Amino acid sequence: MKNSEIALERYRRLIAHVEAYEAALYAKYAPHIACTAGCDSCCILESVCAIEGFRMHEALRASGPAILSLVAGNRDRADGRCVLLLDGRCLLYAHRPIICRTHGYPLLIEGRVDFCRRNFTELSTIDSENIISLDALNEALARINILFMEEVDDARFRTDRLFLRELIAPMS
């Protein structure tokens, strides 16, 4: 198996890890989490790493002309919002990057816990088992990304960061 394929499998496992974290968080704290479809405050993403760009590119190609045309219409937006955001929703929600899967939740970042202030408004503490380390996630993703870039066939995905607006055009 090529390193890029091993990396894609590891990336899928990392996503599953984040989804399990999210499920455990909601099982305990759902009434305290305000995140909902239509709240797009966090959607200001501009770029992703190569393996996430590759996965999103593949998902976009498979998404059909209607979604492609909506995304293309967003390419030159100048309001600072993510090019995949339309009417408060992510056009590629099922394939969103790791960082988007943690938006709003309790994250450990450089030794400090942070979360969206619309969440947990009536709580003074959050159990440590329900806090995810963004630094550890980023480190795991960086390792997977290096492995991916070593052997990916498409040269466009052998660069550390990809701008989403470049990713969506041209779609080939």
168 touching ligand SF4, by CB under 6 A: no
107 touching ligand SF4, by CB under 6 A: no
Dist. CA 115–CA 9, nearest whole Å:
29
User: Between residues 100 and 107, which has the closer beta carbon with respect to ligand SF4?
Assistant: 100
162 touching ligand SF4, by CB under 6 A: no
Report strand pairing: 132-133 vs 107-109. Answer: parallel
Q: Which of residues 19-58 bind ligand SF4 (CB under 6 A)?
A: 43, 45
Compute how many residues bind ligand SF4; rule: CB under 6 A: 9
Cα dihedral sign, 88-92-95-97: negative
User: Between residues 82 and 152, which has the closer beta carbon with respect to ligand SF4?
Assistant: 82
Instruction: With contacts defined by CB under 6 A, name the span among 18-26, 67-75, 90-98, 147-155 that binds ligand SF4.
Output: 90-98
132 touching ligand SF4, by CB under 6 A: no
167 touching ligand SF4, by CB under 6 A: no
> Smallest distance from the beta carbon of 45 to ligand SF4, in angstroms?
4
